[in-house]
């Protein structure tokens, strides 16, 4: 899937899909299943977008990696294309390094008696109650839209959470799930996102929740299988520069030629969509929604060892770190057969910005010192070390997903979130009602956009 550019683009096709991430590929698969031809054009030299698996000493998932039991679209796709999963390893003691440097061992979601924990759980329950009032199919119908979208999560925590320790825990939760800072998103977006996943616990936890399982061949493997089935309908290394529509159809202008179509599905994250020129210009609500949605800041650092040595010491490999350091959370990302040991460190939000400012050797040193403090000297001598800093990714320019700025849902959400614009339909995990920001949401969004197109009776 690297040299498709060499084929000439067709001059006309019923539907063009822009982007071969999970959203675009799922849209194309839905169309193909319905017997409607389409062409998927993808800027990068690979499909999968923010799901990107590299085979090094073992499978390394640089982007999306987990699938949970309520993520039915992804599970069904994996089943259809024979991509097996396994349970995330979390047996043993988890570690929590508190802001004063002390290290605690715990099992379950968090240490029982730890600082701020009681109020943290109260707030989590309160967030679930408020989120339950949002209709994820029609979020802007919420009677509290204006009120909740005018308040940042930061100011809401400052006003309603008494204990600074509970606030510290909540701040890390926001970084970990939204890959942003509490000051950058509104309470409304936070609540919508929780509703979209089902609960706060769904977002945070492993067993029965979003982090439950991983793919033996990596999270990109179902995407590769879909692309294989779609064959020549997927063209990589082709960038869409402009989309022009009139009463008769759409012209999709790419750096490899122009394709005419009846409909186009744009399945790119909002900041990538903003780089496409639309003619006529997009309506103000859609244009502003796109402009005001910014990608989160996240890096994943994989550190590979001869064996998962921490397991022999009764440790799960899961760690949560408060305080000054860059790393927020660590997971055991070893393969299911534990033939090799892999720790993955997540760095996000403000932590990512300070870590990114270091040179490569200093970044590596920082991560290895952090792991050594958690797991001992052996953690300082890996056989492989690999970083993926998503804000530097030429296509995604961030991750996990884009978050609309405070006020954007209230001002532009009703018309700008995902309503089709003439012959242009919108997909992408940022347009999903369920599991917004996740692979599962990307898949359902692609299917929804394909159904919108099929409802228009596009000729096959």
Q: Is 49 in the site for ligand FAD (CB under 6 A)?
A: yes
Q: Is 268 in the site for ligand FAD (CB under 6 A)?
A: yes
Q: Is 290 in the site for ligand FAD (CB under 6 A)?
A: no
Q: Is 78 in the site for ligand FAD (CB under 6 A)?
A: no
Residue 214: strand, helix, or coil = strand
Binder of ligand FAD out of 4, 9, 63, 173 (CB under 6 A): 63
Token pair 């839209």: residue: 145
Cβ proximity to ligand FAD, 145 vs 190, nearer residue: 190
Binder of ligand FAD out of 15, 134, 136, 240 (CB under 6 A): 240
Torsion sign over Cα 110, 112, 115, 117: positive
Binder of ligand FAD out of 51, 75, 259, 330 (CB under 6 A): 51
Q: Is 218 in the site for ligand FAD (CB under 6 A)?
A: no
How far is residue 382's CA from residue 152's CA, in Å, rounded to a whole number? 41
**Would you mind telling me the total number of residues written for the chain in this entry?**
460
Q: Count the site residues for ligand FAD by CB under 6 A.
A: 40
Listed in sequence order, the DSSP H helices in 135-220 are 145-149, 153-160, 164-178, 187-197, 200-204
How far is residue 342's CA from residue 152's CA, in Å, rounded to a whole number? 36
| Other residues' Cβ atoms within 10 Å of the Cβ of residue 186 | 25
Torsion sign over Cα 397, 403, 407, 412: positive
Binder of ligand FAD out of 4, 17, 19, 170 (CB under 6 A): 19
Q: Is 438 in the site for ligand FAD (CB under 6 A)?
A: yes
Cβ proximity to ligand FAD, 67 vs 166, nearer residue: 67
Cβ proximity to ligand FAD, 317 vs 428, nearer residue: 428
Binder of ligand FAD out of 213, 288, 300, 448 (CB under 6 A): 300
Sheet containing strand 315-321, strands side by side: 103-106, 93-97, 315-321, 329-332, 341-348, 298-305, 384-389
Which residues on adjacent β-strands are paired with residue 279? Answer: 244
Q: Is 269 in the site for ligand FAD (CB under 6 A)?
A: yes
Residue 19: C-alpha distances to residues 173, 235, 315, 395 (Å): 30, 10, 41, 10
Q: Which stretch binds ligand FAD (CB under 6 A): 58-66, 116-124, 182-190, 414-422?
A: 58-66
| Other residues' Cβ atoms within 10 Å of the Cβ of residue 392 | 12
Q: Is 43 in the site for ligand FAD (CB under 6 A)?
A: yes
Q: Is 302 in the site for ligand FAD (CB under 6 A)?
A: no
Q: How far is the CB of 24 from ligand FAD (least distance, A)?
A: 6
Provide the mask over 83-102, with x wherever binding to ligand FAD is found by CB under 6 A and - wherever it is not: --------------------
* Binding to ligand FAD in span 388-417, by CB under 6 A: 390, 395-396, 399-401
Q: Is 239 in the site for ligand FAD (CB under 6 A)?
A: yes
- The number of helix segments (H) and strand segments (E) in the chain equals 17, 23
What is the DSSP secondary structure assignment for residue 421, as one 8-state letter? Answer: B
Q: Is 23 in the site for ligand FAD (CB under 6 A)?
A: yes
How far is residue 183's CA from residue 349's CA, in Å, rounded to a whole number? 11
Binder of ligand FAD out of 293, 429, 433, 444 (CB under 6 A): 429
Q: How far is the CB of 307 from ligand FAD (least distance, A)?
A: 24
Q: Of 155, 414, 406, which is closest to residue 286 (Cα–Cα)?
A: 414
Q: How far is the CB of 357 from ligand FAD (least distance, A)?
A: 19
How far is residue 108's CA from residue 27's CA, in Å, rounded to a whole number? 38
How far is residue 78's CA from residue 63's CA, in Å, rounded to a whole number? 17
Provide the mask over 305-344, with x wherever binding to ligand FAD is found by CB under 6 A and - wherever it is not: ----------------------------------------
Contact 102, 146 (CB under 8 A): no
In 230-297, DSSP assigns E strands to 234-235, 240-246, 249-254, 257-261, 263-266, 277-279, 293-295
Cβ proximity to ligand FAD, 70 vs 354, nearer residue: 70
* Binding to ligand FAD in span 159-198, by CB under 6 A: none
Q: How far is the CB of 306 from ligand FAD (least distance, A)?
A: 26
Q: Strands 277-279, 293-295: parallel, antiparallel or unpaired by DSSP?
A: unpaired
Q: Is 222 in the site for ligand FAD (CB under 6 A)?
A: no
Residues that bind ligand FAD (CB under 6 A): 18-24, 41-44, 49-51, 63-66, 239-240, 267-269, 272, 276, 298, 300, 390, 395-396, 399-401, 428-429, 437-440, 442
């Amino acid at each position: 899937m690297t040299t498709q550019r060499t084929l000439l683009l067709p001059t006309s096709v019923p539907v063009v899909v822009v982007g071969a991430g999970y959203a675009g590929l799922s849209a194309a698969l839905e169309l193909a299943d319905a017997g409607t031809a389409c062409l998927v054009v993808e800027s990068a030299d690979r499909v999968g977008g923010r799901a990107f698996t590299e085979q090094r000493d073992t499978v390394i998932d640089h982007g999306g990696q987990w699938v949970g039991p309520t993520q039915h679209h992804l599970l069904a796709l994996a089943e259809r294309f024979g991509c097996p999963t396994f349970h995330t390893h979390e047996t043993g003691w988890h570690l929590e390094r508190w802001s004063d440097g002390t290290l605690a061992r715990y099992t379950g979601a968090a240490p029982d008696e730890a600082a701020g924990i009681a109020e943290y759980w109260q707030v989590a329950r309160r967030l679930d109650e408020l989120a339950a009032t949002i209709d994820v199919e029609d979020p802007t119908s919420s009677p509290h839209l204006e009120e909740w979208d005018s308040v940042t999560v930061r100011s809401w925590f400052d006003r309603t959470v008494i204990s600074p320790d509970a606030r510290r825990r909540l701040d890390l939760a926001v970084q970990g799930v939204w890959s942003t800072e509490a000051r950058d998103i509104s309470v409304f977006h936070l609540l919508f996102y929780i509703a979209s996943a089902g609960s706060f616990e769904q977002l945070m936890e492993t067993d029965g929740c979003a982090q439950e399982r991983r793919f033996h061949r990596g999270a990109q493997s179902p995407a590769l299988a879909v692309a294989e089935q779609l064959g020549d309908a997927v063209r990589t290394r082709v960038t869409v520069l402009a989309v022009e529509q009139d009463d008769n159809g759409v012209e999709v202008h790419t750096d490899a030629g122009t394709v005419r179509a009846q409909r186009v599905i744009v399945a790119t994250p909002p900041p990538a969509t903003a780089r496409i020129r639309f003619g006529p210009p997009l309506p103000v609500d859609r244009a502003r929604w796109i402009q005001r949605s910014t990608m989160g800041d996240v890096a994943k650092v994989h550190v590979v060892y001869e064996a998962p040595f921490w397991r022999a010491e009764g440790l799960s490999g899961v760690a949560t770190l408060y305080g000054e350091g860059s790393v927020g959370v660590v997971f055991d990302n070893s393969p299911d057969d534990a033939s090799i040991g892999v720790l993955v460190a997540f760095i996000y939000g403000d932590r990512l910005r300070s870590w990114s400012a270091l040179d490569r050797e200093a970044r590596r040193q920082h991560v290895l010192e952090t792991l050594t403090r958690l797991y001992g000297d052996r953690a300082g001598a890996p056989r492989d070390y690999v970083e993926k800093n998503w804000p530097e990714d030429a296509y995604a320019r961030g991750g996990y997903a884009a978050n609309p700025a405070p006020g954007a849902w209230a001002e532009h959400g009703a018309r700008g979130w995902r309503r089709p614009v003439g012959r242009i339909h919108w997909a992408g995990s940022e347009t999903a009602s369920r599991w917004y920001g996740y692979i599962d949401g990307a898949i359902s969004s692609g299917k929804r956009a394909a159904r919108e197109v099929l409802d228009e009776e596009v000729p096959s």
